[in-house]
Amino acid sequence: MNIRAFYLSVIAMLIAGAASACPNYSLYGQTYELTGRSMYNEQSVSIRAGGDHSILGCGIRFGSDRGRGYVTEAPDFSLNLSGMGGYKLAISVISRCDSILLINTGAANWYYDDDDNGNLDARIILTRPSNGWMDIWVGTHDGSVCDATLYLETFNR
């Protein structure tokens, strides 16, 4: 192999690696410390939904729905949760496009949803949320980007 062919193959591998990046829970998003009690009053935060990384082919084993979507590599939000015993946690999105939610919990479980909040918006309800870190990606179904709001609310079990 000549030097030019070598460099072209290295560049092709780098481009392919960048295009196939997957959600990475070892990175951090906007960080919040929340308790089950503090989310008993609904909390919300604005976000730009979407990303340029497809979740297909990432080898994620979901504990909920399966589907496609595009997210950023780093989570949008990294929550340090405490006092979650006795609560259910509803995580939902209202957006101007077809949103998805991707969640990695403190118990290392992955959850995905596309349309359970109606109107092409996502919603996941965790019936026994664990204390510890939870990462949340607010993505889109088709790779577009749009304004969205993430909502977090706890309910008694």
pLDDT along the chain (157 residues), means of 10: 45 44 94 97 97 92 82 98 97 96 92 94 95 97 97 96
Query: Which residues neighbour 45 within 8 Å (Cβ) at sequence distance 6 or greater?
Result: 30, 77, 149, 150
SS3 state of residue 16: helix
Give me the pLDDT at residue 20, please: 59
* Global confidence as pTM: 0.85
**CATH of the domain spanning 22-156:** 2.60.120.380
Question: pLDDT value at position 1?
Answer: 54
- For the chain, the domains span 22-156
Going by their DSSP bridges, the two strands 146-156 and 87-95 should be labelled as antiparallel
Give the pLDDT of residue 15.
40
Q: Tokens representing 70?
A: 């595009």
Looking at residue 12, what is its pLDDT? 40
